[in-house]
Each structure stands twice: as structure tokens, then as C-alpha cells.
Amino acid sequence: MYAPEETMETITWHQFEQTDIRVGTIVEANDFPEARRPAYKLLVDLGPLGLKKTSAQVTKLYSKEELVGRQVLCVTNLGKKQIGNFMSEILVTGFEDENKNIVLAQPAAKVPNGSKLI
């Protein structure tokens, strides 16, 4: 539920346009036992952007087998981030549910990998 105290600073349209959000298909999901919180290592096919690695704390709602083949929305221009002994190249997006589990953000219908959110 939206609460007024949760509003954030307003950004410009130009600032929003700088965020590169694209769709990709998860092609590989592996355990990430070194992570501080339960997570998977994911390999995501972003079409013309290639295969990119990331980790995601989605172990409560998704099995590795359920993730493979699933399209997800990814922020592709945040730069690399070291997560333990793993280098993440993109950010897979999602929402917290009522139990604080992450529900992945994904398109309602299949679209070409690498398609940009507009």
C-alpha cells in the first residue's frame, strides 16, 4: 500500500531516461552458498547485450528449475558490483511481497531479449 511518507525525491525525465532497463531470459541458475543471504547466481541472456551474470535473493519463491527460461526486467547500466566472491553485471528487478520475499518483475508477454523498457 502506498504511504505518503514513502515518497521519494522527484527526478527529471532526463534522469529517468538514463536508466537502461531491458528484458532478458534466465538461462542458468545455480546455488550461491557464499552469499550472506540465500541467493542464486543467475546467467541472463540479454540478446544483443550478450550473457550477463547477477545474483538474486529469490530462493524463497523460486526454484532454480523455475527460473530457467523466465524473462525478467534488468537494469543494465549500473556497472559491476562485487557480491562476496562473485561479480554481478546487472540488477534483476523485483518487488517485496507481504512476507518480504522478492517477486521478480517480468513482462506480461514474451518479448525479444534485450528489448528496452520505454
pLDDT for residue 84: 83
Chain CA centroid to CA 88, Å: 11
Q: What is the pTM of this model?
A: 0.89
pLDDT for residue 5: 60
pLDDT for residue 7: 72
Q: Tell me the C-alpha distance between 103 and 3, whole Å.
A: 20
CATH number for the segment(s) 25-104 = 2.40.50.140
Percent of the chain topping pLDDT 90? 85
Q: Which parts of the chain sit beneath pLDDT 70? A: 1-6
Question: All 3 cell numbers of residue 52?
Answer: 550477463
Picking from 41, 96, 46, the residue whose alpha carbon sits closest to that of residue 67 is 41
pLDDT for residue 40: 97
Apex 110 CA angle, 106 and 113, nearest 5 = 80
Taking the alpha carbons at both ends of the chain, their separation in whole angstroms is 25
Contact, 102 vs 58, CB < 8 A? yes
